[in-house]
Amino acid sequence: MAAIAEQVSTTELRPAAAGRNPWALAWRRLRSNRIALAALGLFILIVVVCLAAPLYAHDLAHIGNPLSPNLNGTTVANGKVVPIMQEGGGILHLGETPIGPTWSLGHYFLGADGLGRDVASLVLYGGRASLQIGLASAVICCVVATVFALIAGFFGGLTDTILSRIMDIVWSFPVILLAICIATVLLTQPNGVKVGFLTIYATSLWVPTFIIALIYVPYVYRPVRGQVLSVVQKEFVEASIAQGASNFRLIFSEILPNVISTVIVLLPLITATNILTESALSYLSVGVQPPNVSWGTIIADGQDLLYTRPWVSLAPGIMIVLTVLALNVLGDGVRDALDPRAKLRVK
Amino acid sequence: MLAVLTFIVRRSLWTVVVMFVITVVVFFIFFKTPGVDPARALAGRDPSPQVLAEVRQQLGLNRPLWIQYGIMMKKIFITRNLVSYSDQGELIIPEIFAAAPITLSLVFGASVIWVVAAIVMGVAAARLRGTIYDPVLMILALIGLSTPVFWLGQVVILITQVKLHSSIFSWVQLGYTPLTQSPVKWFEGLIFPWITLSILYIGLYARVLRANLLEVQNEDYVRTARAKGLSERRVLLRHTLRTSMITFLSLFGLDFGALVGGGAILTEVVFGIHGVGFLTWESLTNLDLPTIMAVVIYGAFFIVLANALVDVAYAWIDPRVRPT
Amino acid sequence: MRHILTRARNLGTRKPGLTGVAALSVLAIAAAGCGSSSPSSSSSPSASTPQSGGTFTILANSSFGVADPAQNYTLQEWQLLIDTHDGLVGFAMTGGIAGTKIVPNLATSVPLPTNGGKTYVFHIRSGIKFSNGTPLEPSDWLTVFERQFTVPGGNPGFYSDIVGASACSTKGCNLSKGVVANNAAMTLTIHLTQSDPEFMDQLSLPFAFAVPQNTSMHLTGNNVPPGTGPYMWKSYNPNTEAVLVRNPYFHVWSQIAAPNGYPNEIIEKYGLPVSDEVTEVLNGEANEVFDGDQVPADDLSMLNSPKYASEVHVNTLTADWYFALNTRTAPFNNVLARQAINYAANRSAYVKIAGGPSLAVPACQILPPNFPSYVAYCPYTTGKQTVWSGPNLAKAKALVKQSGTYGDKVVVNGTNDTVGTELAEQMVSDLDSIGYKASTQLLSMAVQYPFIQNSVNSSKWNVAWSAWYQDYPAPSDFLNVLLGCGHIVPNSDASPNIAAFCNQGIQNQINTAESIEAAQPAKAAAMWTQIDHEDTNLAPWVDLYNPKQIDILSSNVHGYKWNPQWYILIDQLWLSK
């Protein structure tokens, strides 16, 4: 990828580039980066496939809700009707094993999980949750971090010190502990917890979304604050101050446009990180709660079936790797396009 | 010199503040979590209300929270006799010290692998720039960065314990054996956890190193070295690599500290290695406050220590860097 | 009052699968009864004459926590304590239903109470020494009983009827009025404040096992005080192993209560993942997989191989896995709604979650099979009303309509480990199928039991998973402890009647049955059967199944016996060369 960065930079040096709108330029650079475009295509494909989950599940209409247990159900494999849960053999008949992959679409393509549910449709529905959490938390995180960074960088002094110190503490806080405590507190409130006009229920996807958004705020805050500090000292800002522009105007129309590219570069990378974090929290059973499923919860459930039915955890894991890889490649491409001078920098 | 000292002192004071805030927050969150009554947990099954009241009294649970916090800190730092809420026979400090060598074994082995592999990959990619190998290596590095470690662990277990267990991996046993007991078993039990844990860092470090190498390549002194007619290899080893390793090593210091402090939780959980990360996970699921507090402090200590060492080293090398 | 938590304590690790763990799930597969089911009980045919010697090695995923017998309430330690310590009386150390019989141990006979059931006089055997050489004396029990109060958190008030106990606390205890020892005459007299038909059962538990009178009145932590049994504790480290060696002062005084053991040494090792334990035992590198460890589903298929048929034993436990229905609030304050979900619950699905019919038996009633007063009964099924054969959805839906609770919201509380989550999701599905709007509330295992057992939280859930393993074979241990009016404690975090079910008519019968227990055991037994069926009709729970338990032994182990109280009898196993 950096080789590509290299190519991009040569294109960028052409004199034609000078004087154009920087966003159009960036877009042109991104368009000429074929690997980044392929990554974008892959990511969109994954999103579309997951959004189309009900279409696949429609095929499974015979089992009703694809997320509810189907322990006593049957399916068709090799033209024969077979039970989804199969009793152990031998003399003792210990254990019940879910059916393995049939590789026939609509009939337990990837087999069943411990509750007799179709793994393929779980992976599609799980993808919706994982993607939603990843994207939403990245957006929330970036917005919150940018607002704090603008305030801290613009006002400086004590405000800056306090905000930066709070960020340091959030950064060193044990994430899993926070997730467990919040989940436990919420779970024991059946009517949800009211936060302002919002009511948050424990099983809501917004719980992991907010937790993940919170823990990565400092990660975005630091570079953006640095940007703000350097922009504040530029002449055009000083000029605006001299003209008596309001603080609000200064922040949003003078400074923000100059730091937004940093945020945009970070966005796909944060989304990727957040999808990984969601899966880790769900694996430790403090992320997504039933009846919702996510790629992380499917992998966690699949661990008990790893030896006999490895596809239960293989399939969502492959989806995570593809999605996160696509976002990382895309993130590299966006960075190279927006900020060619930093082409060789990582992180 | 004095500046460096001042810096160290400021740094340490700030560290104490961070740890204080974190422990206070953990402590109060815990006591606000419903269903978590340490007296209830200690009083056994179906205790009578009197027994509960007595246990509460005995543990000081009916005293103000800040006094309880003080008592707990005293038991961690001074008397060192903090006892688990879920097992009153268990002294927590020795338990952590028993788990520490296990985590250290895991992290040490993994770090050897990732440092060597990342240097090889990063240098190779930089040297091979312009060929197809560079982007291929970097895509591999990105795949490493994109793989959830617990899932990778499952795949490794699947391969070594099921798919190929009867053929090439029959020697692989999960579970930790102390080095002093049997170095061979220690190695056999840890080699796959090492690899699993190192993949992410190989990807990360290879990318960082490659980028640094390319950046340094254009610096004057490297050009000078080349102009002197030194071989490309000599330039790389003597000049470029050396300079680039500064970032590499400071990153390494931070990551190593975080992992030794219990950051390898997912790897430890998926492989069932009972190190500090596993202990953390166990205490969290049991909501065993004393253990949680102790592992949080333990982990924070290493993170902060690593941070401080890296900062001090920087401040020493480069007086311009004297961060707040 | 053994809740599943007794064994769940170490389970921390449970979820992340392979490694293990135990706990609860453990139980998921576990089980007990009196082994009617499987190729158990008989020892292997090659077993000719029992021989002493060798080291018997048990592999357990995790330890049993604190070792002080006054505080430990886990079957895991009890299985070892019965080999190292003895009580005044005890359960017969034999397999099958005979193992529920209480026989004299350190006392020469099981005394009948006098003074209206309030006084017991024991004659203590002489010539018995503790493993440190100190002779056993009746006054040792004063320490034993006083320690029940000065060491907090052990038993749930089993001995609180002893005269003087009400003034005891963790600060101090004086039972000299209630426990009167005459060391010269070797007699021990115990005075109770009220008669207790289960007192002999309670004396048979390790809480009341003899320890020397100079034992500390405080928690001894992980040091086990000396005992009188055939073995003694050499060491215990919860992170590595427990080692039991022969007690040099032991001699046999009762073959049935305290027989000598066969192995020279018993070692219980901690920390391996369960699937590795299974492999090692099947390879003969160790002798037993601790029966509380949950065998991963992946390994079950291996155990099905005919090759291992003589090394694997399955027994039904006298235990219930159930969902308690919150009778305080709508919709389940309505008996029709409670009956509806009982008709709708698809017990064969729950059994599959537990590992299939070979690992769990579907149940409708409170008392488990092979338990005193048990008579098979199941009103909530399609076929015959004795065994469950299938859900009756039509009837269930009709009852929901009739109760006027259609469309109500229902919160299903459970644990967040794999099995717990699956059970809760199946319950949600069953509730949805008859028109409720159900959702889950899954808590970590360490939190869930204290949470639902705390009556303060009763407005926060409608259906709560729980499980109960007998303390001793007495029907009141289920019917009174879990469903008696006296066991609802408002505003308390120790309210074992989770459903808060109270029916005054049934309570009167319970009181009568308890009072006539000693004098008219047959009549009392019939009453308990009646109470069990009446409770079942009023549906305070959805009973799911009675779990079974797997014992895995290496091929050189012989003499397997399964005791309904203690399960596997470790020191009665012998090793062939």
CATH code of the region C75-225: 3.40.190.10
State whether residue A298 is helix, strand or coil.
Answer: helix
Please name the member of C298, C355, C550 whose beta carbon is closest to the beta carbon of A96. C355
pLDDT at C422: 92
pLDDT, mean of residues C101-124: 93
Confidence of residue C2 (pLDDT cuts 50, 70, 90): very low
User: How large is the C-alpha radius of gyration of chain B?
Assistant: 24
Q: With contact defined as beta carbons under 8 Å apart, do C544 and C323 qualify?
A: yes
Judged by CB atoms closer than 8 Å, whether chains meet at C66 and B88 is answered as yes
Closest residue to A289, CB basis, from C312, C348, C442: C442
Q: Are the C-beta atoms of C554 and C284 separated by less than 8 Å?
A: yes
What is the model's pTM?
0.85
Contact A180, C444 (CB under 8 A): yes
- Between chain B and chain C, the number of residue pairs with CB atoms below 8 A apart is 148
Q: Show Cβ contacts of residue C126 under 8 Å, excluding neighbours closer than 6 positions.
A: C186
Residues of C in contact with A184 (CB under 8 A): 443-444, 447
Given a contact cutoff of 8 angstroms between Cβ atoms, the answer to whether B268 and B278 are in contact is yes
Of C16, C355, C428, the CB nearest to A95: C355
Under an 8 A CB cutoff, do A94 and C300 touch?
A: yes
How far does the CA of residue A346 sit from the closest CA of chain B (Å)? 6
C334 three-state secondary structure: coil
Q: How many helices (H) does chain C have, and how many strands (E)? A: 15, 22
Does residue A27 belong to the interface with chain B, where contact is any CB pair within 8 Å?
A: no
Domain definitions of chain C by residue range: 75-225, 319-549
For chain C, give the percent of residues with pLDDT over 70: 91
Q: Please check whether residue B224 is in contact with residue B252, taking contact to mean a CB–CB distance below 8 angstroms.
A: no
Is the CB of A90 less than 8 angstroms away from the CB of C305?
yes
Interface test with B, best of C66, C280, C478 (most B CBs within 10 A): C66
List the single range of A161-165, B260-264, C145-149, C376-380 with lowest mean pLDDT: B260-264
Q: Which of B26, B138, B148 sits opposite A280 (nearest CB)?
A: B148
Q: Is the pLDDT of residue A326 over 80?
A: yes
Q: How confident is the model at residue A275 (pLDDT cuts 50, 70, 90)?
A: very high
**Residue B181 gets which letter from DSSP?**
T
Q: Over 90: is that where the pLDDT of C312 sits?
A: yes
Q: Which of residues 157-186 of B touch C (CB under 8 A)?
A: 157, 173-175
Q: Residues of B with CB below 8 A from C5's CB? A: 45
Top mean pLDDT of A32-41, A65-74, A251-260, B62-71 is at A32-41
| A203 contacts chain C (CB < 8 A) | yes
Please provide residue A72's backbone torsions phi and psi, each rounded to the nearest 5 degrees: -100, 10
pLDDT at C22: 29
User: Can you spell out the DSSP letters for A90-130?
Assistant: TTT---EEE-----STTS-TT-B-TTS-BHHHHHHHHHHHH
Task: Pick from B146, B165, B307 the residue to mutate for testing the A interface (most A CBs within 10 Å).
Answer: B146
Q: What is the mean pLDDT of residues A16-24?
A: 62
Q: Does A306 touch chain C (CB under 8 A)?
A: yes
Pairing of strands C541-553, C312-316: antiparallel
Say how many C-beta atoms besides its own lie within 10 A of residue C190's C-beta.
25
The complex scores an ipTM of: 0.85
The predicted pLDDT at position A8 comes to 35
Question: Looking at beta carbons, which residues of chain B come within 8 Å of A321?
Answer: 143, 146-148, 151
Gap from C120 CA to chain B (nearest CA, Å): 25
Confidence of residue A60 (pLDDT cuts 50, 70, 90): low
Contact B134 A3 (CB under 8 A): yes
Which residues 32-91 in chain C show a CB within 8 A of chain B?
A: 65-68, 71, 73
Confidence of residue A345 (pLDDT cuts 50, 70, 90): very low
DSSP string, A143-194: HHHHHHHHHHHHH-HHHHHHHHHHHHHHHHS-HHHHHHHHHHHHHT-TT-EE
Q: pLDDT band at residue B1, thresholds of 50, 70 and 90?
A: low
Provide the pLDDT confidence category of residue C21 given band limits of 50, 70 and 90. very low
Q: How many CB pairs under 8 A join A and C?
A: 148
pLDDT at C62 over 90: no
Nearest 5°: CA angle at C446, between C441 and C447?
45
Residue B19 confidence (pLDDT): 81
Is the per-residue pLDDT at C425 higher than 70?
A: yes
Q: Which fold has domain C319-549?
A: Dipeptide-binding Protein; domain 3 (3.10.105)
C171 alpha carbon, distance to own chain's centre: 30
Q: Is A175 left (phi over 0), alpha (psi -120 to 50) or beta?
A: alpha
Say whether residue A184 is in contact with chain C using an 8 A CB cutoff: yes
Nearest CA in chain C to B55: C152
C-alpha C365/C-alpha C379 separation (Å) is: 9
What pLDDT, on a 0 to 100 scale, did the predictor assign at position B197?
Answer: 95
Do residue C65 and residue B89 have CB atoms under 8 angstroms apart?
A: yes
pLDDT, position A278 = 93
Q: Give the pLDDT mean for B88-102.
A: 85
Contact flag B35-C443 (C-beta cutoff 8 Å): yes
pLDDT of residue A190: 67
Query: Please, which chains are in contact with C (at least 3 CB pairs closer than 8 A)?
Result: A, B
Query: B11: exposed, middle or buried (C-beta count within 10 Å: 0-12, 13-18, 19+)?
Result: middle
Interface of C with B in 443-472 (CB under 8 A): 443-448, 450-451, 453-454, 457
What's the pLDDT tens digit per position in C437-469? 998 888 887 778 888 888 888 888 999 999 998
Determine the Cα angle at C500 with ends C498 and C504, to 5°. Answer: 140
Place C525 in a pLDDT band, splitting at 50, 70 and 90. Answer: very high
Average pLDDT rounded to a whole number, residues B139-163: 89
Among all residues of chain A, which has the CA nearest to that of B22?
Answer: A173
Number of CB atoms found within 10 A of residue C266's CB: 27
Minimal C-alpha gap between B180 and chain C (Å): 15
**Does residue C44 register a pLDDT over 50?**
no
Question: What pLDDT shows up at residue C30?
Answer: 31
Instruction: Identify all chain B residues contacting C272, using CB atoms and an 8 Å cutoff.
Output: 175
List subunits contacting chain B, requiring 3 or more Cβ pairs under 8 Å: A, C
Q: Across chain A, what does the average pLDDT equal?
A: 82
For the ranges A7-11, B313-317, C260-264, C352-356, the maximum mean pLDDT occurs at: C260-264
A304/B contact by beta carbon, under 8 A: no
pLDDT interval class at C532 (50, 70, 90): very high
Q: Is the model's pLDDT at B218 over the cut of 90?
A: no
Place of tokens 């990807």: B203
- Kindly tell me if the per-residue pLDDT of C540 is higher than 60: yes
B223's tokens: 């050009």
Q: A219-228, A329-338, B211-220, C95-104: lowest mean pLDDT where?
A: B211-220
Return the pLDDT at A17. 43
What percent of chain C is modeled with pLDDT above 90? 61
pLDDT-based confidence at A340, cuts 50/70/90?
low
Contacts of C115 (CB under 8 A, 6+ apart): C191
Q: How far apart are the first and last CA of chain B?
A: 16
Q: What span, in angstroms and rounded, lies between the C-alpha atoms of C407 and C395?
A: 17
What b/e sequence results for B248-274 when a residue is b if at least 16 CB atoms lie within 10 Å of its CB, and e otherwise? bebbbbebbbbbbbbbbbbbbbbbbbb
pLDDT band at C245 (very low <50, low <70, confident <90, very high): very high
Closest residue by Cα to residue C430 from A86, A202, A115: A115
What is the structure's pLDDT at C48?
Answer: 67
pLDDT number for residue B317: 64
Q: Is the pLDDT of residue C45 over 50?
A: no
Q: Which residue of C has its CA nearest to A306?
A: C298
Window from B253-262, C11-20, C78-87, C125-134 with minimum mean pLDDT: C11-20
**At B297, is the pLDDT very low, low, confident or very high (cuts 50, 70, 90)?**
confident
**pLDDT > 50? residue B323:** no
B229 confidence band (pLDDT: 50, 70, 90) = confident
A156 touches chain B (CB under 8 A): no
Ordered DSSP codes for C424-493:
HHHHHHHHHHTT-EEEEEEE-HHHHHHHHH-GGGGGG-SEEEEEEE-SSS-THHHHTTTT-GGG--TT-S
Closest CB from B145, B148, B208 relative to A317? B148
Chain C residues inside the 8 Å CB shell of B173: 276
CB atoms within 10 A of CB A90: 18
- Please report the residues numbered 207 through 236 in chain A whose beta carbons come closer than 8 angstroms to any beta carbon of chain C: none
| CATH architecture for the domain at A40-54+119-338 | Orthogonal Bundle (1.10)
Residue B186 has pLDDT above 60, yes or no: yes
Q: Which residues does chain C have within 8 Å of residue B282's beta carbon, measured at their own beta carbons?
A: 12-13
Q: How far is CA B310 from CA A335, B159, B315, B317, B319, in A?
A: 28, 38, 9, 11, 14
Confidence of residue C37 (pLDDT cuts 50, 70, 90): very low
Please give the C-alpha separations between residue C483 and each of C4, C156, C333, C477, C486, in angstroms, as whole numbers.
17, 16, 15, 10, 9
Q: Do B148 and A177 touch (CB under 8 A)?
A: no
CA distance B212 to chain A (A): 8
Cα separation, A77 vs C184, in Å, equals 79
B90 → chain C, closest CA residue: C66
Name all domains of chain B by residue range, CATH numbers in brackets.
Answer: 92-321 (1.10.3720.10)
What's the pLDDT tens digit per position in C324-340? 999 999 899 999 999 99
- Whether pLDDT at C377 is above 90: yes
CB contact under 8 A, B36 and C447: yes
Over residues B303-312, the mean pLDDT reads 77
Chains touching chain A through at least 3 C-beta pairs below 8 angstroms are B, C
| Pairing, β C102-104 against β C89-91 | antiparallel
B89 pLDDT tier (thresholds 50, 70, 90): low
Average pLDDT of the residues of chain B: 82
DSSP H or E segment with residue C58: strand C55-60
> Quick check: B286 and C446 CB within 8 A?
yes
pLDDT digits (tens, 9 = 90+) for C139-152: 999 999 999 988 87
- With 70 as the cut, is the pLDDT of residue C508 above it? yes
> What number is the average pLDDT over the span A48-73?
78
pLDDT by residue (tens digit) across A132-167? Answer: 999 999 999 999 999 999 999 888 889 998 998 888
Measured distance CA(A334)–CA(A264) in Å, rounded:
8
- Nearest-Cα residue of chain C relative to residue A305: C298
Task: Confirm or reject contact between B25 and chain A (CB < 8 A).
Answer: yes
pLDDT band at C20 (very low <50, low <70, confident <90, very high): very low
Interchain CB contact of B34 with A (< 8 Å): yes
A69: nearest CB among C17, C426, C444: C426
Which residue's entry shows tokens 């305080």?
Answer: C328
Disruptive mutation site among C15, C71, C166, C216 for chain B (greatest number of B CBs within 10 Å): C71
- pLDDT of C567 above 70: yes
